[in-house]
Structures are given as structure tokens and as C-alpha cells.
Amino acid sequence: MTRRIASGDYAAGERLPTESELQKEWRVSRSVVREAMKILASQGLVSIQQGGGTFVNEANHDALQNHLEMTLKRAAKNGKPWRSGDAAGAVKAMCAHLDTTGKDLLLARRKGRK
């Protein structure tokens, strides 16, 4: 779910599928879905409105950065750090949410590594 939020599959303010729908999609128990939603909420990615649903929050740079780091580590472990669609999606989502200063900082860091 984190990957889908970070990649833009779910836009800020969008309501996520119901617990029942996610339960069927993931083939897990309702308690697993609830725990996953609690984790996403603790990371600042979603807001849970009791009786109203779960909604995607505005971009949370820390959460996106954590997702990006985990994705890149997982991809590097598999020997394909920049070929991973997850990594590309995470980078794209994070860059889309950076302000101009953030983009300049990211470019400066990249130049410094070459």
C-alpha cells in the first residue's frame, strides 16, 4: 500500500478501498488490514476517520524518503538498484512532491556523488 501511495496510484485526499475490499484483495484477515492501516497512519501517509474511511494525506516527505530508502535497499539486494519499477516509482513520487529548493538540493547531492 505504501508503494501505491508513494507512486501516486492513490492521490492526496483520495479515499482508500474499504477494509473489506482490501481484505479480499490481499487475502488476509481484517485484523491484518487494520494493523497495516494503523502503520500507514503512524507514518503520516493516511488519516483514518472512524466510520468515514481512510484517506491519503498530503505528501509526507519523511514517509516518502523512508519508502524510497527501503525500496532501494531491497532492489540493491536483488542486484538491480535502478532497474526496479518500485524504485523508479518511489523516486518519481518523491521528486514530484519536492519544492524547488528540494529539487536543487537533490541535484546538488547527485552532482557531488559523480
Angle CA(17)–CA(85)–CA(4) in degrees, nearest 5?
Answer: 15
Q: Residue 15 gets which letter from DSSP?
A: B
Total tally of structural domains belonging to the chain: 2
Has this prediction a pTM greater than 0.75? no
Is the pLDDT at 99 greater than 50? The verdict is: no
Judge if 27 and 47 occupy the same domain.
yes
Convert the pLDDT of each residue in 39-76 to its tens digit. 889 888 899 999 999 999 886 666 667 767 777 777 77
Convert the pLDDT of each residue in 22-34 to its tens digit. 999 999 999 999 9
Judge if 47 and 71 occupy the same domain.
no
Q: Is the dihedral of CA 40, 69, 27, 57 positive or negative?
A: positive
Judge if 51 and 66 occupy the same domain.
no
